């Protein structure tokens, strides 16, 4: 993700080693708990990957959590806001897109 593919793969391997089994929506819920329990604080790469997964699984609640964290880490990165706007659009929440 965004030039950090090895970080994303390492996180996936950590999840597998922790016994997490990715499967659709449950994958997102398990992932957020995993991220919160990681011994190292999640960086923007992790939160951006979670935000992207939220678009795939259309999980707006977790997308908003991920964006809140991304705002703390990289306030001036417009792509994070665009991603959330795209998720709103995918769900037909046009009043929230703007």
pLDDT tens digits for range 41-50: 999 999 999 9
Q: Are 29 and 67 in contact (CB under 8 A)?
A: no
Q: What is the mean pLDDT of residues 18-26?
A: 66
**35 or 22, greater pLDDT:** 35
More confident residue, 72 or 27: 72
pLDDT tens digits, one per residue of 26-71:
567 778 888 888 888 999 999 999 999 899 888 899 999 999 999 9
Domain map (residue ranges) of the chain:
5-97
Q: How far apart are CA 64 and CA 83, in angstroms?
A: 10
Lookup: tokens for 45: 């790469």
């Amino acid at each position: 993700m965004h030039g950090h593919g090895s970080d994303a793969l390492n996180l996936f391997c950590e999840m597998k080693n922790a016994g997490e089994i990715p499967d659709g929506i449950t994958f997102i819920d398990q992932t957020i708990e995993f991220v919160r329990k990681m011994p190292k604080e999640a960086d923007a790469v992790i939160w951006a990957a979670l935000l992207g997964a939220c678009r795939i699984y259309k999980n707006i609640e977790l997308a908003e959590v991920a964006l809140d964290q991304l705002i703390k880490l990289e306030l001036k990165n417009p792509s994070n806001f665009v991603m959330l706007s795209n998720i709103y659009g995918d769900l037909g929440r046009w009043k929230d897109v703007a």
